[in-house]
Amino acid sequence: MLNILKEFLDPFLLIGLFLGALYFFFTATFDFWETRGVPFKKPTVLLGNFGPVLLFRKSQPEGVKEMYDWFKNERFFGVFRVRSPILILRDPDLVKSVCVKDFACFANRGIPINNSQDPLSGHLFNLEGRRWKGLRSKLTPAFSSGKLKRMFYLLDECSEEFQKLINEHACDGKTAVEVRELAAKFTIDVIGSCAFGIQINALTDEDSEFHRAAKKLSRPSYKATLWRMLRTAMPRLYKFLGVQVIDPEVTRFFKDVVSQMIRQRESSDQRRHDFMDLLVELKNKGSLENDTGSVVQSFNEEDVQAAKEIELDENSIAAQAFVFFAAGYETSSNTIAFCLHELALNEEIQERTKRDINDAITKRDGKLTYDAVQDMKYLDLVILETLRKYPPAPLLSRRCEYKYQIPGSKVELPAGMRVVIPIYGLHHDPDHYPDPEAFNPDRFTDENKRTRHPYTYLPFGEGPRACIGMRFALLQIKVGIISFLRSHGVRLSDKTVHPIKFSRRSLVTTSETGFWLNITSDPESC
């Protein structure tokens, strides 16, 4: 008996038992798709099918596109993230079902939140259920076209300062400029002004606290990036460890700024018509007035009731202001940079875009107005094509809330199953977009759009959980590009990298090496 006990306590045997148990744990789910008759690719222990992305060997867009092409003749297929089975959709009709038709089953993203460690993570993007529904209902009126038009003067002010900075670089000579960094200064100033009511001067002051916070958000540690990828696959471990993915200094900074701005707005009668005004109005009144001055009402009784249950305190306002900043400044500056990169490669398209911009401004006596921006129809096409080729989010995901049978199949998904929509794959599918690597704004003329399934284009998502700030983001992007092209142009430089190499560390689509271009100046500018 003693010998058996000694043998059992043998360290090598214990290690073997532990490794065996670990192997069983990580592989126990690997028959999930096979038993349901769903096509899948054999996963790797510990990594599933996401190894190259989790190990930072491939960027998110590259990883998504590679997986999308595994089963070209299938409507959907299965993969594994670590040990969690995930369904990936290829059929636009299924995308529509998940985003719209059967939204009730896929209303949540399933992103776990550690509120005590990450108080800024309780924002609209992450929230679920009635709390999401109520807050979405309250915030939607803040992004109406009327309210954006009233705050357009703030964007125009930032544009004027931005043009001065662009002019300095253009008149400086033929030195290549990293246009994403330049665009990021503009978007930080815009969001600081429109969301926080603060003149940040990021265009001239790179040591501003907002600028430092932006750099920390856009360059998170590898540990934080890995946890952002893994938290939906390992939510229990994420919560158990109390992981904090937002830098503590960034959290303190945003909470302090918002607290200060709320006190300032509540003690003053001055109105800037910015988003902070609207958030403070929501906090104090519980609802917003619409563009005609009456209180906004929802026609959906459930939305009305959910909205009544939501109270905005300082932490909630800080979280909304934070996601507005975090989601808006980097994605918009990247889109501006991608667009300028493509315009430098395609000079005819650039010249046509410049004419479109200047014609609209000339019609309004040389002034950049909200209505002038709406008249720039070719600029619209250019931005739509930029967002097709370089969608800010390479994928979006939803969690199945209850048993769901995939339309047109016998496959039933269990509650808790994650469904992924591969945006980058759909946007680069030659069946939807012939010659997908070519930059062709005419893909988005009304005539050409009618020939395409609408759910093959998803830069802002679709359905009730589509990006609430889409209108503002597009307006900010347009004004940024107008600032560049109104009196200047962009050309390729010796430092330009083409084709673009995507960042392997970022969860949004961006360049690993930057966007280096020469800025040229119209004769009268310098």
Q: Which residues are annotated as a binding site?
A: 467
Can you read off the two tokens belonging to residue 147?
Answer: 């309210």
Secondary structure, 3-state, 242-276: CCCCCCHHHHHHHHHHHHHHHHHHHCCCCCCCCHH
Can you read off the two tokens belonging to residue 115?
Answer: 């509120």
d(CA 526, CA 520): 10
User: Do 399 and 417 contact (CB within 8 A), yes or no?
Assistant: yes
Residue 150 burial (C-beta neighbours within 10 Å; 0-12, 13-18, 19+): middle
d(CA 143, CA 149): 10
User: Do 360 and 372 contact (CB within 8 A), yes or no?
Assistant: yes
How far is the first Cα of the chain from the last one, in angstroms, to the nearest whole number? 94
- Provide the 8-state DSSP code for 99: I
Question: What radius of gyration do the chain's Cα atoms show?
Answer: 25
User: Do 382 and 339 contact (CB within 8 A), yes or no?
Assistant: yes
Binding positions for heme: 467
Closest alpha carbon to 142 in 299, 353, 289 = 289
Identity of the residue numbered 291 = D
User: Do 466 and 460 contact (CB within 8 A), yes or no?
Assistant: yes
- Provide the 8-state DSSP code for 87: E
Q: Calculate the alpha carbon distances from 305 to 127, 234, 353, 447 in Å.
A: 17, 33, 46, 42
Secondary structure, 3-state, 311-371: CCCHHHHHHHHHHHHHHHHHHHHHHHHHHHHHHHHCHHHHHHHHHHHHHHHHCCCCCCCHH
Closest alpha carbon to 182 in 375, 32, 56, 334 = 334
